Amino acid sequence: MTERQPLRVVPLIDQRTAPLPTPGAAFLSGTRIAASGLLHDSLNRPLRDLRISVTDRCNFRCNYCMPKEIFGKDYPYLPHAALLSFEEITRVAKVFIAHGVQKIRLTGGEPLLRKNIERLIEQLSALRTLEGRPLDLTLTTNGSLLARKARDLKAAGLQRVTVSLDGLDDAVFRSMNDVDFPVADVLAGIDAAQDAGLGPIKINMVVKRGTNEHEILPMARRFKGSGMVLRFIEYMDVGATNGWRMNEVLPSSQVIQLIDAELPLLPLGASSPGETAARWGYANAAGQHDVAAGEIGVISSVTQAFCGSCNRARLSTEGQLYLCLFASRGYDLRSLIRGQASDTDLISAIGHIWQGRTDRYSELRRALPGDTATGAKRVEMSYIGG
């Protein structure tokens, strides 16, 4: 048994201006945790998936994520020096891999806005898991720059992309991204990603009741049989700025019902432990899965929490480690990285942090008062990534 050390955490009042105290001696002295690939948190969940936000900036203003009223012209984004460099990110990634991480997802903000992102991808794609396999290396993007960048991303070693797309109707799409960005350009980006071999591509659609639920069926029809996996995400109460209301959440069960009435579905098993999406396959006339028609996924973070299998850690743009999408505090790894900490120190610190993890916000959400985003000021999704 390892002895637990007291950990310093960073309360996030404003993620960009709050002082970032160094975790300091508590991490670096006392019982050391070595990397075994077998790290588990206090609820026995392993560490397998690392999501890295490479920028807090975005060229869209999706109202569920970066509403214009808050993220306006004067919004104080992080200065470049505050961001982890590509070398720092790669160093942290290696430490996480030593603890058993198999999958890395680059996100943001809009990750393709980070200058020379291909160089980071080259560095990460050279890493190997503990079993000696390449990482499952992927990226989530709004697709706006994909037509231009897909080939270079593939050449740099990116395996797959997930593209966010909230509807096919141009007016609906322009209004949801709130910067009047045309849907045709994202569809061209998806085509370019497919041509470049960045598949199997996943398409993420956030469903907001009263805003884009009428786009569910057109999206299902469009991507059925395309080789891409369309996933419907319940609108979540992430962050503190999107004015979330429960009555704007369309439960995934209703999404399934709606599609099944026109395009019959059948449930499929999970393809990997910790998978966030419940999978449904298109059925053929005999009621069996029509593999050529493909499948869809539903991510029911609000109505059916999946915290029990959550094996994801999140690294913010400035090197704060978050243990939950809904966390209001992070652990300042950047000060360790930029200080005197050795890789062994970092391994031990992350080991202590993960072992102490108790987060299961979505499971506890129902017990919270009211139907609005409540409690401590939570970190914004554009800062830690989805």
Residues that bind ligand SF4 (CB under 6 A): 58, 60-62, 65-66, 108-110, 142, 164, 305-307, 310, 312, 324-326, 359-362, 382
Q: Is 328 in the site for ligand SAM (CB under 6 A)?
A: no
| Cβ-based nearer residue to ligand SF4, 106 or 265 | 106
CB-based contact 95:347 (threshold 8 Å): yes
Residue with smallest beta-carbon separation from ligand SAM: 386
The one segment of 170-178, 253-261, 320-328, 378-386 that binds ligand SAM by CB under 6 A? 378-386
Q: Which of 15, 22, 55, 140 binds ligand SAM (CB under 6 A)?
A: 140
| Cβ-based nearer residue to ligand SAM, 47 or 205 | 205
What's the burial of 342, exposed, middle or buried (CB within 10 Å: 0-12/13-18/19+)? exposed
Please tell me the distance from the alpha carbon of residue 373 to that of residue 379, in angstroms, as a whole number.
12
| Cβ-based nearer residue to ligand SAM, 164 or 252 | 164
Residue 282 touches which of ligand SF4, ligand SAM, none (Cβ within 5-8 Å per kind) = none
Tell me the HSE value of 294 on the side-chain side, using a 13 A CA sphere. 17
Q: 3-state SS of 307-328? A: HHHCCEEEECCCCEEECCCCCC
Distance of CA 322 to the CA centre of its chain: 12
Instruction: Please give the size of the binding site for ligand SAM, defined by CB under 6 A.
Output: 21
CB 37 → ligand SAM: shortest distance, Å?
Answer: 28
Task: Please list the residues that pair with 281 across neighbouring strands.
Answer: 266, 295
Q: Which of 273, 356, 260 is nearest to 310 (CA)?
A: 273
| Cβ-based nearer residue to ligand SF4, 22 or 107 | 107
CB 364 → ligand SF4: shortest distance, Å?
Answer: 8
**What SS3 state is found at 128?**
strand
What's the burial of 245, exposed, middle or buried (CB within 10 Å: 0-12/13-18/19+)? middle
Please tell me the distance from the alpha carbon of residue 193 to that of residue 187, in angstroms, as a whole number.
10
Phi/psi region, residue 243 (left: phi>0; alpha: psi -120 to 50; beta: rest), is left
The one segment of 103-111, 114-122, 279-287, 333-341 that binds ligand SAM by CB under 6 A? 103-111
Residue 235 touches which of ligand SAM, ligand SF4, none (Cβ within 5-8 Å per kind) = ligand SAM
Q: Segment 46-75, which members bind ligand SAM (CB under 6 A)?
A: 58, 64-65
Phi, psi of 234 (to 5 degrees): -65, 135
CB 111 → ligand SAM: shortest distance, Å?
Answer: 6
Residue 168 touches which of ligand SAM, ligand SF4, none (Cβ within 5-8 Å per kind) = none
The b-or-e profile of 118-136 (16+ CB within 10 A means b, else e) is: bebbbbbbebebeeeeebb
Q: Is 233 in the site for ligand SAM (CB under 6 A)?
A: yes
Give the footprint of ligand SAM on this chain (CB under 6 A).
58, 64-65, 107-108, 110, 140-142, 164, 204, 206, 233, 235-236, 238, 242, 381-382, 385-386
